[in-house]
Structure 1
Amino acid sequence: MRDSSNTPAPPPAADQAIVIGAGLGGLASAMRLGAKGYRVTVLDRLDRAGGRGSSITQGGHRFDLGPTIVTVPQGLRDLWAVCGRDFDAAVALKPMDPFYEIRFADGETFTARQDDAAIKAEVARISSSDSKGYAKFLKDSEARYWFGYEDMGRKPMHKLWQTAKAIPTFIRMRADRSVYGHAASRVKDEHLRFALSFHPLFIGGDPFNVTSMYILVSHLEKAFGVHYAMGGVQAIADAMVGVIQSQGGEVVQGAEVDEITIAGGRASGVRMVSGETLAASVVVSNADAGHTYDRLLRNAPKKRWTPAKLKRARWSMGLYVWYFGTKGTREMWKDVGHHSIVVGPRYREHIKDIFIRGKLADDMSLYVHRPSVTDPSCAPAGDDTFYVLSPVPHLGHDNGVDWAAEEEPYRAKMLKVLEERLLPGVTDRITESVTFTPETFRDRYLSPFGAGFSIEPRILQSAWFRPHNVSEELPGLYLAGAGTHPGAGMPGVIGTAEVLGKLVPDPLVRHESPAQYALRMAAE
């Protein structure tokens, strides 16, 4: 990895590819292009690779900034295999047991596990009359996994007929029903309805409006488990950089792209904020799709993804994230594991406040990440590292939140919830503190409206209706990351690179065949 100040003149453009953004989708795309024989340059404005999956270190605490779990390790293993490498030799995954614990406002709990007997017992303990309905829900989830994830999710969806072909299956699977609506059709207990329907929040979706196709996440957990990457997701990003470099590519940090250049009606490269121009035959944007079309292609005519259309789109919610370290707490809070979800007193109305009303509510539901119980390397000896996330409205609502005024009061409310419901005594133990608001997401990640997960994955903003992996606005431009197909979440953004790899043609100049490359990698 090198600094942008030493950026050399670009090599001949025939086999040169540029990837804008070193997020996980961009790094995965660079790996796949490198395996095809492209000379790849990844350009990223931040100081460390990984994008939202990167980390910061403060006072001896490593704070994972974004994704914290791996739910489909096979996607990563397939990516490494395409490059002639072994993922498990590069990154150590540790399975979580339990996956997470949900703590409800009335004192009830739900502990999610992979073991059949354990999870059936947990459901029966909460509501024995819902055991059969829960089993039916899991079957529903598996069916949607095979269709929505393994079929549609791994194919290009840039042609309308590809989505139209799926309409009969959508009808049969009741894709018109929401995730919560489907959960409610199978179980009656509200605790179980929450446990089966909250997952869309982790990809930026409103459980009461996102299509029930997304119940497939329950099958992902059950079939593949929930894993933690030792060293955090940053370890995955760093390993990806290593593969790119071994392919002859490079990842340049501190390098911000200002515009995608055009020549002969095609993407021809990029112009940097510094004024430097880099040429390439293929340009991949892992920047948010909204930023790509609204900013990076601001001088190009657009037929579909116009500023007006992007403004009308429904965007995912914003995120308030508090990262903090605590002193001498490793042996405290024995009942608090790696992943906890602290649920507020309202569900439906709170979701409406976030997604529809754009109101910052007084109550909150929290996702609490305590990686130090699994990975001591993220904190000083005997200490803990925490990451606490609360979904909040994005910045695009008419009555937008004034985060300059609300940031500290909201943190104080969050601390009160943690003290009362999960971590008694935490206030006096905090030594390090960092907060991200939706304004941070807007400024750090160039995310439109500070949205946490780009465009919300509603049914008419998925598949063909989402920005395509191959740009419909400019030949030679491809899109990766949360804002394109198949969508947000680590499996989704890694999947965008798999789809993109099927669309980008082989380079006109090849330095070695994929077989030669694989043999060379195996010998190293």
Structure 2
Amino acid sequence: MQNLSHAIVIGAGLGGLAAAMRLGAKGYSVTVLDRLDRAGGRGSSITQNGHRFDLGPTIVTVPHVFEGLWKACGRDFHKDVDLRPLDPFYEVRWPDGTSFKASCDDEKMFAEVSKVSPTDLKGYKRFLKDSRARYVVGFEGMVAKPMHRLWETIKVLPKFAALRADRSIYGLAAARVKDERLRMALSFHPLFIGGDPAHVTSMYALVAHLEKEYGVHYAMGGVQAIADAMADVVRGQGGVIRHETNVDEILVEDGAAKGVRLSDGTQLDADVVISNADAGYTYDHLLRNHAKRRWTVQKLRKRRWSMGLYVWYFGTKGTAEMWPDLGHHTIQNGPRFKGLLRDIFIKGKLSDDMSLYVHRPSVTDPTAAPEGDDTFYILSPVPHLGWKDAVDWEREEAIYREKVAAVLEGMMPGFRERITTELVFTPETFRDRYLSPHGAGFSLEPRILQSAWFRPHNVSEEARGLYLVGAGTHPGAGLPGVVSSAEVLGKLVPDAPVRAAQSRMAAE
């Protein structure tokens, strides 16, 4: 009897793995095809000289997204993943020596706000109410809901209007607090999903409520441990994950996706194809031989893409007791906030100044580095490669690294002499390793007219039986977003025909 329930998932990123889990739970025989050597995609890791470098996301902000995924597969997330709450979540620092430590404790947060600007406490409390209201509409009401029908977006427009979704998240923060440092601290979060705080919608204020309600967590073993646990669930369902396997094309017959062709010419048939590849790459390359109705190359090129990322990973020897004030997550601001955003997102210019995200997982997780040592991940937002005068990273990388090092020296004196191993990712790495258009770190920028119905849909209009998950589709980038995209998928893809037939027989 012909197997009518085979699904192929292109990409073993967290969105692809979550999709494979959802489809396995719905009775499909699943094959995951991935070009890297291990699971996780941008959430994977590389180990050098005993230092584990988590390459992409580093925190979990909405654990129930994972708990729901595991539950759908008849499993307990917390039995498979050791998740630890962080307190504080992170520390934000400014050049004048001011700092702000974020946590879920109201009184601690009120004290931190008052420390920076006592007169802004009342406005901060208003911001918290703004955040909760946007959470109810934007997260509870939209994130895990299919948005491929225009009506679903139209229905929420009155609520969006009432919440002033047309105003930027920075604009909302500026309306509530006067201190520029606090405005930054309340509005920077969209940078972690590729958005310009000066232009993305104020709906992203919901992140403050997410942090307050659910906390910020770290998975022991890094996000790689979550990806490995997801891969174990897929294999436990009978699924197959093939690494170092490159998909060259999605095959379409009579308007329906029928499988894929690999780069070595091998053809694999399937009844359902899910692409966890970037939406831009999916439509521009994987469907290059198929006439497209909506997502043509020209339309994709007119989209606004997220910024690029410069990431310096390094391990240091004998530093576990050094720099005691440097915790797990630190954001070191440069002298400018809005000006730097303008250079990155509007001008496409590589600035001399920068803001840095410093990740030091070894203070929490002893598996991240050899005993007594440290592992670091330093991230700087930079322009993507799609600008007319794009940065030549082969020429600029060493120069930029020295500029980053100069900032770090103020935080971690003597760190350069302690480095034992290092690795650098530039936007060119993201382009080549992850096939990300323009080397963008988070696919399409999450502006309001590139969200919900305006974003590439989870169910493709270009071929029946083709679905999209991951950062480039609804609801967007970030761990909650990409995992929720698979929850949306689960609502769109019917149960496998074989399982449906078995269910009818059992009922009879």
With structure 2 as the length reference, what TM-score do the two structures score?
Answer: 0.98
2:141 maps to 151
Which of residues 112, 135, 139 in structure 1 aligns to 2:102? Answer: 112
Match of 1:90 among 67, 80, 88: 80
- Cα offset, 1:113, TM superposition: 1.1
Q: Is the 8 A contact 1:37 1:513 kept in 2?
A: no
Residue number among 128, 137, 152 corresponding to 2:127 in the alignment? 137
1:430-441 equivalences in 2 (<5 Å) = 430-441=419-430
Partner of 1:188, secondary structure, is coil
Check whether the contact 1:480–1:500 (CA below 8 A) recurs between aligned residues: yes
Measure, in 1, the Cα distance between the counterparts of 2:420 and 2:435.
Answer: 30
Work out whether residues 394 and 451 of structure 1, in 8 Å CA contact, stay in contact via their aligned partners in 2. Answer: yes
8 Å Cα contact 1:62/1:378 also seen in 2: yes
Whether 2:395 is the aligned partner of 1:405: answer yes
Query: Is the counterpart of residue 78 in structure 1 residue 76 in structure 2?
Result: no
**Alignment partner of 1:69 out of 48, 53, 59:** 59
Paired residue for 1:521?
Answer: none
Partner of 2:118: 128
Match of 1:480 among 462, 466, 469: 469
In structure 2, the residue matched to 1:172 is: 162
Q: Residue 259 of structure 2 aligns to which amino acid in structure 1?
A: G
**1:62-81: CA deviation from partner (whole Å, max 9, x where unpaired):** 00000000000000000000
Q: Does residue 399 of structure 2 align to residue 394 of structure 1?
A: no
The verdict on how the C-alpha distance between 1:234 and 1:512 changes in structure 2, with shifts beyond 3 A counting, is farther
CA distance in 2, matches of 1:86, 1:312: 43
* Displacement after TM superposition at 1:431 (Å): 0.7
- State the distance in 1 between where 2:11 and 2:344 align: 28
Q: Which ranges in structure 2 are unaligned for 5 or more consecutive residues? A: 504-508
Q: How many residues align?
A: 505
CA distance in 2, matches of 1:513, 1:433: 54
Partner residue in 1 for 2:214: 224
Cα deviation, 1:95-134, whole Å, max 9, x if unaligned, reads: 0000000110111111111111111111112111111110
Return the offset for 1:512: 9.3
Matched with 2:38 is 48
Secondary structure of 2:117's aligned partner: helix
Residue type at the aligned position of 2:469: A
Q: Give the CA deviation at 1:392.
A: 0.1
- Say if 2:8 is the partner of 1:21: no
The letter of the residue matching 1:80 is W
- Retained in 2: the 8 A contact 1:13–1:280? no
The equivalent position to 1:365 in structure 2, one of 334, 346, 355, is 355
Which one of the candidate residues 218, 238, 253 is aligned to 1:263? 253
2:487 to 498, 502, 510: 498
2:446 to 454, 457, 465: 457
Displacement of 1:176 in angstroms is 0.4
State how far apart, in whole Å, the 1-side matches of 2:10 and 2:291 are.
Answer: 20
Q: Which runs of 4+ in 1 moved over 2 A?
A: 511-514
Letter of the structure 2 residue corresponding to residue 297 of structure 1: L
* Percent of matched pairs sharing the same residue: 68
Matches within 5 A, 1:285-296: 285-296=275-286
- Which of 225, 231, 234 in structure 2 is aligned with 1:244? 234
State yes or no: 1:206 paired with 2:196.
Answer: yes
CA displacement 1:422-442 (0-9 Å, x = unmatched): 111101111111000000000
Mapped contact 1:37–1:512 kept (Cα < 8 A): no
Once residues 513 and 255 of structure 1 are traced to their aligned partners in structure 2, the CA distance between those partners, rounded to angstroms, is 33
Q: Distance in 1 between matches of 2:502 and 2:61?
A: 32
The answer (yes or no) to whether the contact 1:43–1:252 under 8 Å persists in 2 is yes
SS in 1 for 2:53: strand
Specify the code of the residue in structure 1 equivalent to 2:494.
Answer: P
Q: 1:344 & 1:264 partners in 2: Cα distance?
A: 55
**Residue deviations 1:169-222, cap 9 Å, x none?**
110000000000000011111111000000000000000000101111111111
Tell me, what secondary structure is at the counterpart of 1:210?
coil
For structure 1, the 5+ residue unaligned runs are 1-10, 515-524
Measure how far apart 1:448 and its partner are: 0.1
Letter in 1 for 2:485: T
Q: Alignment partner for residue 426 of structure 1, among 404, 415, 423?
A: 415
Matched letter for residue 287 of structure 1: A
Name the aligned partner's letter for residue 357 of structure 2: Y
The 3-state SS of whatever aligns with 1:488 is coil
Bigger shift: residues 101-110 or 457-466: 101-110
Whole-angstrom CA distance in 2 between matches of 1:211 and 1:115? 26
Aligned to 2:506: none
Give the counterpart letter for 2:462 in structure 1.
E
Deviation digits for residues 391-444 of structure 1 (CA, Å, limit 9, x no counterpart):
000000011001010011111111110002x11110111111100000000000
Counterpart residue identity of residue 453, structure 2:
W
Specify the SS of the correspondent of 2:4: helix
Amino acid at match of 1:476: G
Q: Match of 1:330? A: 320
Q: Tell me the secondary structure at the aligned position of residue 284 of structure 1.
A: strand
Distance 1:156 1:330, change over 3 A: same
Equivalent residue of 1:166, what SS?
A: helix
| Cα deviation, residue 164, structure 1 | 0.7
- Show the counterpart of 1:317: 307
Kindly provide the amino acid, as one letter, of the partner of residue 435 in structure 2. Answer: L
Q: Quick check: 1:183–1:196 contact (8 Å CA) kept in 2?
A: yes
Counterpart for residue 307 of structure 1: 297
SS at match of 2:381: strand
Tell me which of 3, 27, 30 is aligned to 2:20: 30
How far apart in 2 are the matches of 1:416 and 1:192? Answer: 25
Q: Is the 8 A contact 1:13 1:279 kept in 2?
A: no
Return the offset for 1:264. Answer: 2.7
Structure 1 contact 321–388 (Cα < 8 Å) conserved:
yes
Q: Distance in 1 between matches of 2:502 and 2:478?
A: 32
User: Offset at 1:229?
Assistant: 0.2
